[in-house]
Structure 1
Amino acid sequence: MAETDLELLARLRAAAESIDPPATDLADRMIAAIAVTDISREYALLTLISNAETPVRAGAAGGEAETSTLQFSDGSASILLHVAHAERGRRRVDGWVDAGAVEVQLTQNDRTWTTAPDNQGRFAFDEIPPGLSRVRLIIGSDRKDLLTPHFEV
């Protein structure tokens, strides 16, 4: 930006602040609004049905398999995830959602897997590497979403 542009912007700001000054508590209200949004997302609290630190062991042909069952909810939508060990150290994630989800995304770092639930809300991800993950539900035509906290796959 040229110096004249910066001067013009400074004069516009001064005029706007003198004619229609922002509310004195505007910054605090905006910070609170953003915090509430984050809290409501994080309120999709992890409820362990099977304790994730002590996985349930289920017998399987060829050895034992570790499984974890996790449930998340934000009050309007719930998701149930069942994580099982698969071949070659990979995981299978089976899930069920009770809301009208049109898309489900499982994310680890920069990688995302996407699927659509069936009519009963069931979906699955195969061949997922172990690691810290999140699930995002895209719900309905308004594209509202539910983002889970991080959990270990």
Structure 2
Amino acid sequence: MTDHEPPDDGLPGDEALDDAIVDGLRRIFGRIDPMPPVMDDAVMLALSTVDLDAELAALVVDAREGVRGDGRVLRFAAEGVTLVLSVVPRAAGTVRLDGWITPAQDATVTVRHSRGTAFETDSGPAGRFALDGIPTGSARVLVVLGDGRRIATPALRL
């Protein structure tokens, strides 16, 4: 078998033409539908918090709370376990996170922030926990139950 070169027809090669088309599309979509500014944080969070042993909890409720509606209540469900999070804005770009695990049980709760920091606490036998001073931004919550089962939330905006 021999290699044959295509005839030179004077047109740009396929790669050059493809690159020009893709560059043009990138400019068009950059103007009409730019990437959200939080995308970089979300991608970095997803890459830095991969926990293949954790079960991913499904978000079932995302509601506003409080008199001014400045807080949020998030409810996540995993097989046989519910995680409820109350996220309340605080001063200087931080939030307070109050949580409940049902059925109530001891657990270690870790909030992994897109900035690379982690905040950890224990729930105690009542299944309740609180963390204050968490920076706003993208984060994931990892719950390690007393039996070693690991449950993680999808990335969420604090």
1:115 to 113, 117, 121: 121
Q: Which residue of 2 aligns with 1:139?
A: 145
Deviation at 1:41, TM superposition (A): 2.8
In the TM superposition, structure 1's runs of 4+ consecutive aligned residues that sit over 2 Å from their partners are 99-102
Q: Could you tell me the percent identity over the aligned residues? A: 26
> Does residue 1:95 correspond to 2:108, yes or no?
no
* 3-state secondary structure, aligned to 2:110: strand
Q: Which structure 1 segments of 5+ residues have no match? A: 1-37
Contact 1:65 1:84 in 2 (8 A): no
- Provide the TM-score with structure 1 as the length reference: 0.61
CA distance in 1 between partners of 2:94 and 2:69 (Å): 11
CA distance in 2 between partners of 1:75 and 1:138 (Å): 14
Q: How many pairs align?
A: 104
Deviation at 1:65, TM superposition (A): 6.2
CA distance in 2 between partners of 1:125 and 1:87 (Å): 14
How large is the Cα RMSD of the aligned pairs? 2.0
CA distance in 2 between partners of 1:145 and 1:70 (Å): 19
The higher-RCO structure (CA 8 Å, 6+ apart) is 2
Q: Which structure 2 segments of 5+ residues have no match? A: 1-51
CA distance in 2 between partners of 1:83 and 1:126 (Å): 10
Deviation at 1:132, TM superposition (A): 0.8
* 3-state secondary structure, aligned to 1:88: helix
* 3-state secondary structure, aligned to 1:46: strand
